[in-house]
Amino acid sequence: MKTILVLHTGGTISMSEDQTTGKVSPNSENPLNKRGHLFDNVANMIVEDFFHLPSPHMTPDKMLLLKNRIQQAIVANEADGIVITHGTDTLEETAYFLDLTLKTTIPIVVTGAMRSINEVGSDGLYNFQSAIWVALSQEAKEKGVLVVMNDEIHTARYVTKTHTSNVATFQTPTFGPIGLISKNKVLFFQKLIEEEVYSIETVSKTIFLLKVYAGMDGTLFDAINQPTTDGLVIEALGAGNLPPATLSALNRLIANHIPVVLVSRSFNGIAQDVYDYKGGGKQLKEAGVIFATGLSGPKARIKLQVVLSQDTLPRSLEEYF
């Protein structure tokens, strides 16, 4: 019988709804711990309440602690698979951080819930069960960190939360899920064609994220242009374009050797240097802006933070994106 290490970090999956007020808040004890016996016949379960945090309280420092605990388990051969429960607001960022920093062949699965454990139609226990099925699956090996929600299996690299309350909130724009769960059967039908893992010991870099809007000027760019700033990610318009009033401030950032990574604010598609006009992507790339293919703003920010946290950069920063 396989062994599964379960690391609870908090989130709605560990909360309950007050039946009088409707408020959802953390419990003194994770309610999933009372249901671990449901899996006695399928796996040996090692369960740890690693954190007990609402999702917005997650930070890169805490992500690093979680990564180190998982790495410890891998080195010690503690388990055949790992399941992490997490709040959904920042789940995609933690999952991608782990994907970028963990080298492993055993399945690592992140899951959560949109409805607390005592709400009608609660999805927490079901998603937890699905995550365990995936972690037990031989086919889940060597596929990077996976996110399992609502009967679907997604890669940590591209999955995102798309709805504030719908249980089908986690989707992979452009590419779709890489697998499905049907009852207790795990079915994969695609995989990432390349893997990237970086060795880091700290995550101390200060990286900002700006979303571009019509008529935007350089005010926010200048506010970010500080000696303590290590990088900026921009969610640009369309295929990767900026309002012309931002350009002078953007160029001052680049002149100060602050890396600027650009993605599209569009839900589907990728950023490309297509348009050759003032503020167009072609001119932005020529000015030194780095285009990230297929990543969302939060994901690009996580990647820039991880890449810059390495002791050395053996290749140009643009090559990493």
Tokens matching residue 137: 């699956």
pLDDT mean over 277-305: 96
* pLDDT bucket at 2, cuts 50 / 70 / 90: very high
In which band, very low, low, confident or very high, does the pLDDT at 264 lie, cut at 50, 70 and 90? very high
- Determine the average pLDDT of the residues in 179-208: 93
Q: In the prediction, which pLDDT does 118 show?
A: 86
Q: How far is CA 47 from CA 36, 37, 108, in A?
A: 9, 12, 15
Where are the chain's structural domains?
Answer: 3-188, 207-320
- Where does residue 296 rank: exposed (0-12), middle (13-18), buried (19+ CB within 10 A)? buried
Mean pLDDT of all residues in 276-283? 97
Of 9, 12, 104, 155, catalytic: 12
d(CA 184, CA 264): 37
Q: Which helix (H) or strand (E) holds 219?
A: helix 219-224
* 292 touches 261 (CB < 8 A): yes
Cβ neighbour number for residue 254 with a 10 Å cutoff: 16
Using alpha carbons only, how large is the chain's radius of gyration in Å? 21
Chain-wide mean pLDDT for the chain? Answer: 94
pLDDT, tens only, 57-103: 999 999 999 999 999 999 999 999 999 999 999 999 999 999 999 99
**DSSP secondary structure string for all residues of 69-80:** HHHHHHHTT--S
How far is CA 250 from each of CA 16, 87, 135, rounded to the nearest angstrom? 46, 35, 45
Nearest-angstrom CA–CA distance, 87 and 120: 19
User: Cα–Cα distances in Å, from 13 out to 28, 54, 81, 114, 115?
Assistant: 13, 10, 20, 7, 7
CB 209 within 8 A of CB 221: no
pTM of this prediction exceeds 0.85: yes
Residue 12 among the catalytic residues: yes
Say if 3-188 and 207-320 have the same CATH topology.
yes
Report pLDDT digits (tens) over 13-39: 988 877 777 777 787 778 888 776 778
User: Per-residue confidence at 255, pLDDT binned at 50, 70, 90?
Assistant: very high
Residue type, 122: S
Given a contact cutoff of 8 angstroms between Cβ atoms, the answer to whether 101 and 67 are in contact is yes
The CA distances from residue 95 to 82, 164, 281, 286, 296, in Å, are 12, 19, 30, 33, 14
Query: What CA–CA distances, in Å, run from 67 to 26, 35, 101, 249?
Result: 23, 25, 7, 37
> Distance between CA 161 and CA 215 in Å, rounded?
28
Q: 61 φ, ψ to 5°?
A: -60, -40
Answer yes or no: is pLDDT of 212 > 90: yes
Q: State pLDDT tens for residues 91-146.
A: 999 999 999 999 988 999 999 999 998 888 899 999 999 999 999 999 999 999 99
DSSP letter for 54, please.
Answer: -
**Mean pLDDT computed over 256-274:** 95
- In tens, the pLDDT along 138-180 reads 999 999 999 999 999 999 999 999 999 999 999 999 889 999 9
The domain over range 3-188 is classified in CATH as 3.40.50.1170: yes
Architecture of domain 207-320: 3-Layer(aba) Sandwich (3.40)
Tell me which residue has tokens 């090996």.
141
Handedness of CA 50, 54, 55, 61 (dihedral sign): negative
